[in-house]
Amino acid sequence: MTLFRGTVLDTPDDPFTGASLRSEADAGLLVRNGVLLERGPFAQVRQQHPDEDVVDLTGGAILPGLVDTHVHFPQVRAIGGLGMPLLEWLERCALPEEARLSDPTYAASVAAEFLGGLVQAGTTTALVFGAHFAPAVEVLFEQAAVVGLRVTSGLVVSDRILRDDLLTTPDRAYDEGLALAQRWHGTGRSRYAVTPRFSLSCGKDLLVACESLLRDVPGCWFTSHINENVREIEAVRQLFGVDTYLDTYENHGLLGSHSVLAHNVHPSDGELALLAARGASIAHCPTSNSALGSGLFPLRRHMTSGVHVALGSDVGAGTGFSLLKEGLQAYFVQQMLGEWGLPLEPRHLLHLATAAGARALGLGDQVGDLSVGKRFDALWLRPRTGTTLDVALRHAAGPDDALAKVFALGTSGDVAGVWVDGEALRTTATSPPPSDPPQFRHRQDI
């Protein structure tokens, strides 16, 4: 057994229904076989268990492992393509890079960078948009299993509109998806997600194939995009001849409590009611929405409609892996909405980045907070001495104030340790040798 010692912040109860931040200074968390067995004042737990190994995480804060409900594996190197709306960004930035993952060796190096980015950010669970190529998705699952992250992912499928080398057929999408699901769904910490890219790039026959796969792999997940960009929405409605974007998924039996749809920046009231009725979740990706100018997310309308919402980084339209930054941007967006916005406090941001994500992924009974009985998925946020976050935390007025400073100032660089099932994951990227400083190409080299 291992006894973790430190200051713990988490949100086991939903702040959106009035619950407070739970904080415990100098707590002791006793972990055996990955499960939290006891939690209380360190001195008290230590007295009961004087011989157990202690992992001293005093200073900074221990948070539940972060849960990213929407992030694209093939887009690590596409981060930072600013200045374009969605469809232009896809064509110019994302899709050329995604096509390179047809080479499994290239995909393997991207997978390592991708998983490293998640771990460094303190993300322990993720719903990952895979690649358009089955061997690349295979590589992602293989590497995720080695790293130890909880990953739900799948083959991304499309059969129109995108560049030809990213297209598949309904039969091939089903066969390749089934083969991947048979190997990885329920294997270790991995699960499979049926993943049509978005209705714009998926014909009806392909969505029928997705429905078949969803039915034939019990317990698997469904993820896609919805209502991100007004031009995209209009094109989808015309292509399918439907009233709402959501109808394209509903009409193919793809909506349920295992469904997580990214964005939903421009929903109708009817779509919100249907999402709530189906128990589907929305992955809110605020830096992506801001970077692409997609719009300001109507969180209040989601909440009043009873639609469950969690956070996603949406790398690479999102500007990085850190859900601390996504939390801050979610706060900004609600502020910008004025009277239409839902003012967020630090406890809401932590909840969106942890327990809400766990619930969206059906893992709320296992992870998302650090209660007795949960798995010990956690991160240690410990800024270097003298950094602005360090100064801010040392002068914080209390736990809520400290958490506000974490979201205002925290970065992946402040994550000093990450655990899944009580096992420490490597947090630092492999350092280049001194003779190999970071290089970027100048225009004449491209």
Residue whose CB is less far from Zn ion, 198 or 419 = 198
Which of 138, 159, 211, 314 is the binder for Zn ion (CB under 5 A)?
314
Question: At closest approach, how far in Å is the CB of 142 from Zn ion?
Answer: 23
How big is the chain by its Cα radius of gyration, in Å? Answer: 21
Contact 261, 283 (CB under 8 A): yes
> Degrees (nearest 5) of the Cα angle 181, 131, 232?
115
Q: Which residue has the tokens 């991708």?
A: 114
Tokens representing 45 are: 């737990």
Residue whose CB is less far from Zn ion, 12 or 85 = 85
Question: At closest approach, how far in Å is the CB of 70 from Zn ion?
Answer: 6
Residue whose CB is less far from Zn ion, 260 or 389 = 260
- Of 110-118, 151-159, 312-320, 337-345, the segment contacting Zn ion by CB under 5 A is 312-320
Residue whose CB is less far from Zn ion, 114 or 380 = 114
Question: At closest approach, how far in Å is the CB of 224 from Zn ion?
Answer: 9
Say whether residue 326 binds Zn ion (CB under 5 A): no
Question: At closest approach, how far in Å is the CB of 119 from Zn ion?
Answer: 20
Residues 357-386 vs Zn ion: string with x where CB under 5 A? Answer: ------------------------------
Residue whose CB is less far from Zn ion, 24 or 314 = 314
Question: At closest approach, how far in Å is the CB of 431 from Zn ion?
Answer: 30
d(CA 67, CA 80): 22
Q: For Zn ion, how many residues bind (rule: CB under 5 A)?
A: 2
- Of 74-82, 205-213, 245-253, 308-316, the segment contacting Zn ion by CB under 5 A is 308-316
Restricted to residues 236-295, the positions that interact with Zn ion (CB under 5 A) are 262
Residue whose CB is less far from Zn ion, 84 or 273 = 84
Question: At closest approach, how far in Å is the CB of 225 from Zn ion?
Answer: 6
d(CA 214, CA 253): 9
Give the residues lining the site for Zn ion (CB under 5 A): 262, 314
